[in-house]
Structure 1
Amino acid sequence: MRQMLRILFVLWTATCLSSVAWAADPPVAMCNNVTVEADANCSAMASIDDGSYDPGGGILTLIQVPAGPYPLGETVVKLIVVAESGLADTCEATVTVVDMTPPTVICPADIVVDNEPGQCGAYVSYDITATDNCSIVSPLGKQGASFYSVGVTIITPVVTDASGNEGTCSFKVIVKDTERPTINCPADIVQGTDPDICGALVNYVMSSSDNCPGVTISSDHPSGSIFPMGVTMVWLKAKDASGNQDSCSFTVTINDTQKPIIACPADMDVDNDAGMCGATVNYDVTATDDCDPNPNVVVTPLSGSFLPIGVSDVVAIATDASGNTETCVFKVTVHDVEKPAVTCPADVMQDNDPDQCGAIVTFTVDATDNCAGVMAAANPPSGAFFPIGITTVTAIATDLAGNEESCQFTVTINDIQKPTAICPGPIEQNNDPAQCSAVVNFDVSATDNCSGSSAIADPPSGSSFPIGTTSVVVVATDIAGLEDTCFFDVTVNDTEKPAVICPANIAETVAQGDTGKVVNFDVSATDN
């Protein structure tokens, strides 16, 4: 009331004195719009003075109407500035009070619950309260039950007042998973060994179920592991994200179904032992097995056996501790490389058979060998017809393996049969015209037990034989140098007349008084 009266007095004084002339200058009122934050009572005190002053430098009295505190929102305020001289000035401005204080939200303590059976979470309800310096637009209060997943859920409720300020708090809803997972083991597994190992890679399928995802399954022998031969117990364990566990077991039985590996040598080629129709042969057969370090090996025939000439099959059988067997076969070929022995007779010398240009000759060739079945053959063979001269006989002994040995000797056939010279009968022939002789042709020949004999006449056929009788000697010679002789006569008769040559007719003159004349002339004659 007193403040109001004071304000009215100041206003009356300022009005009344405004018409009076003063020597001093009035004060200057300066206002400024102001925005201030509301206090806990949703109001605020504020000054709108923006540097009001007294030109005379005196002390000013500032009065705001209304004086405050000011409510939330805008309030128009008048500022009255009064100097010591009593002079005054006024101005107006707006005081805006804004609510910047968020509501206070009260959350419950952290909530801890177990999951509901078969569910990966639980339904949870709670209470939230809030206060504000002004007014709350969205109060929360008691919240209905909501489903929260296993784990920690942080709840941050937000409360908004009329000015849009938000307040919040935070608490946790912790849902514990207390339900164990369920694990499913496969049926017992029976499997054979894999190649090259004494065990087997085994794959199996395991499964589990749980109220929550994230179950991990572990095994002391994981699927895809190599399991040894025999029986192995396998344990599976299922563990969920909360640490709850379940387990089961099954067996894996690995049977040795792999055959041992047997190693036969390559096919063997050996030569016969000296003087023997075969050879003693040694060989090695080895066997390995994935499980049995010493598989049993049986070889037939045994190493060190005497094997005959030719091809022998050697059969080896390896058996491991599980009764698995494997067989290999190789060939041993014993070659007969030993030549047979052949014996030739001494050189043979023989006369020709009568009227033959050679002779039939018989002889014996012997052969021996380390193996039966040796054959001896001579070329030319015994009982063959051998020609006159020296023939080399080669005897070859051949065994069943084709080995050969040879020896040689000579067969000499001597030609002791003389040839026969054949002469023509006596020849009589006239002289050749104008010749005191005649060329006489005739045939002479020779026969012999061998070809190649020849007959030579002296004088030879085609010679010029004189008038009269000439004895011709024919000598037959064979290739062995044996001779035979025959004779015949060649008579040439002169049957040609002589020729008389007269001179030409002669005419002579007789001297007068002569009765004649001596005439000379030549008469001649010619003959063959």
Structure 2
Amino acid sequence: MDGSGRWCGMPAWLFTVALMAFTVHIAQGEDPDTTPPNVTCTDVTTRPFLPNSFLGLNAGVEYTYEDSNPDPSGVTYNVTKGPSGDLFPPGPAPVTMYAVDIFDNEATCLFYVENTLTELPVNCPDLNRTVATDMGLPTYSYTPSIEASDVTKSTSGYRYHGGAVSVDPTTAIGSKLDVGTHLDTVLISDEVLSKTCIGYIVVQDTTPPNVTCTDVTTRPFLPNSFLGLGVGISYTYEDSNPDPSGITYNVTKGPGGDLFPPGRTPVTMYAVDIFNNRATCLFYVENTLTELPVNCPDLNRTVATDMGLPTYSYTPSIEASDVTKSTSGYRYHGGAVSVDPTMAIGSKLDVGTHLDTVLISDEVLSKTCIGYIVVQDTTPPNVTCTDVTTRPFLPNSFLGLGVGISYTYEDSNPDPSGITYNVTKGPGGDLFPPGRTPVTMYAVDIFNNRATCLFYVENTLTELPVNCPDLNRTVATDMGLPTYSYTLSIEASDVTKSTSGYRYHGGAVSVDPTTAIGSKLDVGTHLDTVLISDEVLSKTCIGYIVVQDIEKPSVTCPADITESSTNVIQYSANVSDNVGASVTYSPEPGSIFNPGVTTVSVVARDQAGLNDTCSFVVQVTTKLAVSVVVPCAVVLLVVFVIGFSVYYVKKSKERRKMKVSRTDGKQSSSTKTSDV
């Protein structure tokens, strides 16, 4: 204890109270739970649907658990439970159950899990079968009819011991079986259980069938395809065992099968019974066609003389793709047809009527078709056109002229496809810049007589039709700096069209600010001008940038001051700010301080009104007699300890409130002392 009534920097009475509180807390401590749970368990049998799996015990039915602190995660076992857990063989298997409470006290219980199976729970596959004697032999060589993959479980939840089953016939593979019925016994097993399955093998004879066949003609709707013989009509089949797959041929039958040319084609029929006994029969298939079964295309046509010439240069009017079949089921030999006119391509035909003969053929058959060509005059149409202005909703697109309004067309033969232009019209066509653009209109009559007309399309736009984005914004100065480094607040993707049908020249717009990126802007309001443009037009948009200072100043107080030689105290604090700040003290430096402890408050404030504060202590010391200070402190300590101890035992909550109140009282007393 020093002359100020402190013990090792702590008031003596406060140290004593803390020691007493620690002693009472230790006296009231309790030991943790060390009693293990009380558990019981009973033997169980595996479930019928999971006969070699253990699903766990049911609480309150197959086991009990008693403890003041329950097991937080449930009981566990020395085996893995569930449909994918440990496999349990037939008979009882010992299992240990573990129960651990929240204080790690463990109890165990031994019980038995019984698997009551005595036979492998599988379904016997169908082993009954009828077989033929081996080719040319009076016997059948035995082979198993099933494999392990053919075995299915009668209880789906059963899991094979060893992971799979084996299939073992009692009859040796290759054993010779005579015609007749034979017992077939198979043992199906895993590593623990097995099941015997039986069936019967019937061995039958190998006599080939007796067949006859007659010649046939192809059907009219499939004239070069063979559809097969009709049983009892164009072929007969006699055998004690029926043909399992029907008769077959040395050709492919059906609409997608072999092609049969005109005339008679030899075909061999095959008949094989269920014992693979084979018989054959030869017959002929006749195709009676003499002409290619196609429809003659319309070869009649009217043509115009060639441009500037008195004749027409002959070209065929049809191609192979224009030919259609008169019998849809006919298939072209070679896969396609050729079209060959008898008139040489390029022959000069005068105005008038001319015979047009065309030979249509595949690789086997052909057909001759005729028509007439009428050659007509070559007078071009008479057209006029006027200048137009683009529509407001599609200001840089040309939608075409209106007949009878912005153009006229006169000709004895109408324009078959309408007028055309040297530009692409429509919303997805050519782009028209501001001003007048020359366009040529074309009109061609049905004889390919051409007329043109020049007109102008005017785009009246003078400014890019876009909406100015909002450029007004408030920003903060850069961290630690008195200025803001300029950045652009919008991108091209922020620009929207004021006329939705306008299409940007070049496909997109660019956004260019007049203020250089990175320019330093002081606190205040600045004009922000941005030029939005495509490759032809532009628009100037403006806004205002308000630069604000949101970085508050930083003030650091000096260390606490203790002075015994004077009561006029000088001091200063360190202040920093990105823009600049003023500092105020309370009390001001150079003030006269009364003996005792005084708190000095410091406030730094910048131009934006942001501030930071700190404080430190100034202590002016005076020499006080130890004999006066010590007795007062001792008396206060004894009184406080007695009162505090009584209330600590009764009410811990009131003790905390009393401690806070007492502490506040001491601080108030100190403040009053420093003001004297």
TM-score class normalised by the smaller sequence: 0.3 to 0.5
Instruction: Indicate the structure (1 or 2) with the bigger Cα radius of gyration.
Output: 1
TM-score, normalised relative to structure 1: 0.33
TM-score (norm 2): 0.27
**Structure that is richer in strand per residue:** 1
